[in-house]
Amino acid sequence: MTDLAQFRPDQDYCVYCHKPAAGRCAICHALVCADCCELQDGLIRPLALCMKCTGIRPRPGRMLLVWLLVTACFLIALLAVFLLLSSA
């Protein structure tokens, strides 16, 4: 059972879940594992961002989704008004 007792003090751990870290966040340089970071497209290579920094910087894709939802809600409201007016 020496394997279980083995301790590696030079091992870096994820700041969120304390698993062995895979790398550092591109913005705040916090140590994160593969589960707690999100890969985003960078100019040269993909950037790994921690959960905190992905919250600070919303992805363009997410913004597009919000805009689509806002547009859809607006169209539905417009349709409801149109139906109300045409039924009266």
Secondary structure percentages of the chain, helix, strand, coil, to 5: 45, 15, 40
Residue 25 Cα distances to 6, 18, 32, 60, angstroms: 28, 15, 7, 19
Residue closer to Zn ion by CB (options 28, 76) is 28
Smallest separation (angstroms) from Zn ion to the CB of 35: 5
Q: Tell which positions 13-52 bind Zn ion, by CB under 5 A.
A: 14, 16-17, 19, 25, 27-28, 30, 33, 35-36, 50
Q: Is the dihedral of CA 5, 7, 11, 16 positive or negative?
A: positive
Residue closer to Zn ion by CB (options 45, 86) is 45
Cα separation, 84 vs 88, whole angstroms: 6
Smallest separation (angstroms) from Zn ion to the CB of 11: 13
**What is the contact surface with Zn ion in residues (CB under 5 A)?**
14, 16-17, 19, 25, 27-28, 30, 33, 35-36, 50, 53
